[in-house]
């Protein structure tokens, strides 16, 4: 190593030491952790241990066979590595026998004897753990799902790519940059820990790359109404005539509304205005501790209030409404309440990736058991909120390799700047949930499934799915892991509407919805034969169509939007869109 390189390396080592002190100081700011939300409680561990002891007592031969096979594969991996090292040759690749794994794209994982051995042994370990767990005789399906979830977390966490000494990409870059990549990575880590109150939460996107209202969320409009829970935005018309019946969108308050207006070319808001709709969108307040007692009934009341304001501003007795994700769940409750009240203000409703029947908890099974829910109760008692940080972390670990470990490797080991990606920026701009509302949702709707079962008590009424009788269109997404399409379909099937349609988009929870016609990226299924024979029968009878579902839904909506009238100008602007609430960030 020449003198300048040695000097640079020494300087970087000194920087690492300084950053290390900052990191320790930042970590010391972390609040006392709540074990209830850090992982499954001891009951799951006891259940797993009991199942293993039972297997040992009843099938000792099978366990011994598994162990012997594991030993054999481990010795074979070691022997292959030793032979390759002794002969100074490249390791032999067995890619044809393995499922491609993007974590191991670097050729050294295949050709270098050390890295090849590490990769093969990791795969051997993972296989052995999965086989051992799959053979456990667990008491029920809930225990099975929870044990499988915990197993995946452990396997993903222990990947050799997550450690500097066994990550060839990180080691190569550290050498190429004379340690600068590690310095930058540590700076990224310290920044994230300091920014999140002592918690290590990896930044998924460059927070300085976007400003809402300047380069994302720029559709032209005005806030025309404001309450303690919402700002109502009316968008400026871009057509000379508009449909008589106005359209109101309720986005989820778990995130912010501008996912529907990230940039002009994929903005559902701009597209709807261009289709001749007088469009209103709710921007929700990001709650602080003073909102602790706000409940689901307050949000339903806010829905009714926003509807009243839209009807007043447009001088129309009825309107069309859209609810996305949890806002669709709450819209369904609102529709059921309106039916009980004999109020026909809603002409049609659209539900986007909406769950209303929670009989199958799917990938959320782990999080919807009493141990974790009790932990959230403690969080709410302590903070008055279900804080955004906890919500984001929970969602991230549903896809840990993509949303936790992968970004951490790129940021902390490779020293890369988080990408300037609008969707990931939006994903990181999450919101708090009022404590009371969060518990009503988790306990009453998710755990007890009251809306699809005995009825959900709200504002003096016991509401059921069958009370939803408004003409409706539901859109679900094929690979949605947050609101699985089969569960969404099941809720719609139980609703009392005689006029209901279902569209299944390709892709996931966000990409399947934010799927403009211009991209021609994801197709969709529609026209299935009713809701009487289950979701698979519907899927088999449905037709597949290339391209976005937007135009199909647009036609459905236009049929229910009335005649064309002169475009409505915005009156009584409070402030320009996107308003003020959207700029409020959740503070750790």
Q: For the segment 529-580, what is each residue's pLDDT rounded down to a tens digit?
A: 889 999 999 999 999 999 999 999 999 999 999 999 999 999 889 999 999 9
The position carrying tokens 């001088």 is 315
Instruction: Please report the pLDDT score of residue 60 as a whole number.
Output: 85
All residues at 6 or more sequence positions from 156 whose CB lies less than 8 Å from its CB, including other chains: 400, 401, 405
In this structure, of 1-5, 36-40, 131-135, the range with the lowest mean pLDDT score is 1-5
Tell me the pLDDT band of 188, cut-offs 50, 70 and 90: very high
Is 90 exceeded by the pLDDT of residue 392? no
**What number of other Cβ atoms are within 10 A of residue 353's Cβ?**
26
pLDDT digits (tens, 9 = 90+) for 215-227: 999 999 999 999 9
Alpha-carbon span 444 to 451, nearest angstrom:
8
Average pLDDT, the chain: 92
Is 70 exceeded by the pLDDT of residue 4? no
Alpha helices in 445-575 (DSSP H): 485-494, 535-541, 550-558
Alpha-carbon span 332 to 463, nearest angstrom:
10
DSSP 8-class letter at 419: P
Backbone angles phi, psi at 462, to 5 degrees: -100, 110
**What number of other Cβ atoms are within 10 A of residue 381's Cβ?**
10
Q: What 3-state DSSP class applies to 220?
A: coil
How many CA atoms within 13 Å lie on the side-chain side of 106?
17
Mean per-residue pLDDT for 39-44?
Answer: 80
Tell me the pLDDT band of 5, cut-offs 50, 70 and 90: low
Alpha helices in 276-325 (DSSP H): 296-314
Tell me the pLDDT band of 307, cut-offs 50, 70 and 90: very high
Nearest to 280 by CA among 309, 249, 304, 255: 249
pLDDT digits (tens, 9 = 90+) for 407-442: 999 999 999 999 999 999 998 898 999 999 999 999
Is 50 exceeded by the pLDDT of residue 241? yes
As a whole-number percent, the residues of the chain with pLDDT over 70 amount to 96
Instruction: Please report the pLDDT score of residue 201 as a whole number.
Output: 86
Is 50 exceeded by the pLDDT of residue 96? no
**575 in catalytic set:** no
Mean per-residue pLDDT for 88-104?
Answer: 69
Residue ranges of E strands in 196-295: 221-226, 230-235, 241-243, 247-250, 279-284
pLDDT digits (tens, 9 = 90+) for 313-370: 999 999 999 999 999 999 999 999 999 999 999 999 999 999 999 999 888 888 889 9
Mean per-residue pLDDT for 393-405?
Answer: 88
Q: Please work out, in degrees rounded to the nearest 5, the angle formed at the alpha carbon of residue 94 by the alpha carbons of 93 and 95.
A: 95
All residues at 6 or more sequence positions from 263 whose CB lies less than 8 Å from its CB, including other chains: 215, 216, 218, 422
Instruction: Please report the pLDDT score of residue 89 as a whole number.
Output: 66
pLDDT digits (tens, 9 = 90+) for 439-478: 999 999 999 999 999 999 999 999 999 999 999 999 999 9
Nearest to 552 by CA among 492, 501, 499, 483: 501
All residues at 6 or more sequence positions from 155 whose CB lies less than 8 Å from its CB, including other chains: 126, 129, 130
Task: Pick 92 or 53 by higher pLDDT.
Answer: 53
Instruction: Catalytic residue, from 325, 446, 473, 477: name it.
Output: 325
Instruction: Please report the pLDDT score of residue 135 as a whole number.
Output: 86
Instruction: Please report the pLDDT score of residue 99 as a whole number.
Output: 64
As a whole-number percent, the residues of the chain with pLDDT over 90 amount to 71
pLDDT digits (tens, 9 = 90+) for 548-557: 999 999 999 9
Tell me the pLDDT band of 49, cut-offs 50, 70 and 90: confident
All residues at 6 or more sequence positions from 1 whose CB lies less than 8 Å from its CB, including other chains: 9
**What number of other Cβ atoms are within 10 A of residue 271's Cβ?**
23
Instruction: Please report the pLDDT score of residue 98 as a whole number.
Output: 62
All residues at 6 or more sequence positions from 222 whose CB lies less than 8 Å from its CB, including other chains: 233, 234, 236, 570, 573, 574, 575, 576, 577
Is 70 exceeded by the pLDDT of residue 302? yes
């Amino acid at each position: 190593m020449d003198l300048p390189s040695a000097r640079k390396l020494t300087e970087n080592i000194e920087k690492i030491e300084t950053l290390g002190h900052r990191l320790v100081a930042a970590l010391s700011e972390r609040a006392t952790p709540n074990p209830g939300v850090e992982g499954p409680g001891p009951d799951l561990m006891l259940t797993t241990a009991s199942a293993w002891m039972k297997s040992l007592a009843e099938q000792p031969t099978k366990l011994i066979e598994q162990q012997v096979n594991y030993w054999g594969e481990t010795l074979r991996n070691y022997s292959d590595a030793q032979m390759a090292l002794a002969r100074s040759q490249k390791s032999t690749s067995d890619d044809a026998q393995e499922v491609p794994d993007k974590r191991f794209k670097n050729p050294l994982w295949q050709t270098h004897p050390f890295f090849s051995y590490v990769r093969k042994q990791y795969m051997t370990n993972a296989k052995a753990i999965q086989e051992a767990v799959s053979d456990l005789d667990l008491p029920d399906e809930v225990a099975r799902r929870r044990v499988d979830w915990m197993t995946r977390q452990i396997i993903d966490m222990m990947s050799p790519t997550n450690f500097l000494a066994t990550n060839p990409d990180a080691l190569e870059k550290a050498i190429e940059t004379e340690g600068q990549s590690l310095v930058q990575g540590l700076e990224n880590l310290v920044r994230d820990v300091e920014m999140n109150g002592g918690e290590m939460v990896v930044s998924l996107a460059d927070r300085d790359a976007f400003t809402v209202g300047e380069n994302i969320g720029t559709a032209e409009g005005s806030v025309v109404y404001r309450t303690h829970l919402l700002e109502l935005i009316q968008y400026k018309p871009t057509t000379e005539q508009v449909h008589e019946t106005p359209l109101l969108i309720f986005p989820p308050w778990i995130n912010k509304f501008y996912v529907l207006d990230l940039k002009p070319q994929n903005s559902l808001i701009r597209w709807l205005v261009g289709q001749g709709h007088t469009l209103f969108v709710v921007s929700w307040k990001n709650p602080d501790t003073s909102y602790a007692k706000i409940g689901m009934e307050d949000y339903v009341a806010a829905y009714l209030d926003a509807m009243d304001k839209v009807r007043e501003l447009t001088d129309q007795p009825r309107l069309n409404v859209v609810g996305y994700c949890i806002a669709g769940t709450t819209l369904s409750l609102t529709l059921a309440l309106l039916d009980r009240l004999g109020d026909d203000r809603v002409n049609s409703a659209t539900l986007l990736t909406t769950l209303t029947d929670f009989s199958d908890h799917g990938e959320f099974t782990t999080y919807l058991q009493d141990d974790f829910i009790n932990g959230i109760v403690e969080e709410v008692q302590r903070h008055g909120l279900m804080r955004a940080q906890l919500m984001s972390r929970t969602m991230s670990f549903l896809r840990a390799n993509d949303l936790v470990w992968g970004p951490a490797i790129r940021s902390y080991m490779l020293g890369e700047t988080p990408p300037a990606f609008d969707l990931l920026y939006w994903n990181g701009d999450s919101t708090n949930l009022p404590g009371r509302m969060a518990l009503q949702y988790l306990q009453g709707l998710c755990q007890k499934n009251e809306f699809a079962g005995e009825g959900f008590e709200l504002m003096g009424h016991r509401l059921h799915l069958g009370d939803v009788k408004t003409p409706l269109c539901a859109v679900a997404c094929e690979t949605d892991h947050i609101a699985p399409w089969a569960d969404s379909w099941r809720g719609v099937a139980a609703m009392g509407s005689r006029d209901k349609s279902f569209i299944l988009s390709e892709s996931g929870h966000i990409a399947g919805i934010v799927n403009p016609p211009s991209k021609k990226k994801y197709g969709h299924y529609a026209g299935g034969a009713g809701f009487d024979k289950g979701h698979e029968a519907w899927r088999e009878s449905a037709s597949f169509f290339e391209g976005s579902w937007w135009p199909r839904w647009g036609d459905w909506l236009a049929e229910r939007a009335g005649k064309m009238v002169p475009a409505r100008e915005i009156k009584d602007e409070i402030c320009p869109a996107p308003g003020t609430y959207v700029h409020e960030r959740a503070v750790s």
